[in-house]
Chain A
Amino acid sequence: MIDTEAQPPGVLWARVDAAFFVASSRGTFLGSVDGQFENEFIARDAHSCLIGRYAELKAGMIAVIDHSTKAAPA
Chain B
Amino acid sequence: MTDTPSLRWLAYSSTATTPFDGARLAQLLEQSRTANQRHDVTGMLLYRRGRFIQFLEGTHDAVTSTMERIGRDPRHTDIRVLIDAATPSRHFAEWTMGYEPLIDTDQPAPAGFRDTFIDLENAPDDATVLRAAHELTLWFRARADTHNEMR
Given the known interface contacts A44-B142, A46-B138, A48-B142, the answer about A13 and B114 at a Cβ–Cβ threshold of 8 Å is yes
Please give me the residue from chain A that is nearest to B139 by CB atom. Answer: A16
Contacts of A4 in B (CB 8 A): 111-113
Is B116 within 8 A of A15, CB to CB?
yes
Interface centre among A1, A16, A29, by most chain B C-beta atoms within 10 angstroms, is: A16
Looking at the assembled complex, report how far the CB atom of B69 sits from the nearest CB atom of chain A, in whole angstroms. Answer: 28
Contacts of B75 in A (CB 8 A): none
Q: Residues of A within 8 Å of B, CB-based: how many?
A: 28
Is A1 within 8 A of B105, CB to CB?
no
Is A14 within 8 A of B145, CB to CB?
no
Contacts of A50 in B (CB 8 A): 149
Tell me the chain A residues, 6-65 only, with Cβ under 8 Å from chain B: 12-22, 24, 27, 29, 31-32, 34, 36, 42, 44, 46, 48, 50
Is A18 within 8 A of B113, CB to CB?
no
Q: Which residues of B contact A (CB under 8 A)?
A: 102-105, 107, 109-117, 119, 127, 131-132, 134-136, 138-139, 141-143, 145-146, 149
Q: Which residues of A contact B (CB under 8 A)?
A: 1-5, 12-22, 24, 27, 29, 31-32, 34, 36, 42, 44, 46, 48, 50
A–B Cβ pairs within 8 angstroms, 23 of them: A1-B111, A2-B111, A2-B112, A3-B112, A5-B112, A14-B109, A14-B116, A15-B113, A15-B115, A16-B116, A18-B103, A18-B104, A19-B103, A20-B103, A24-B134, A29-B138, A34-B146, A36-B143, A36-B146, A42-B146, A46-B138, A48-B138, A48-B141
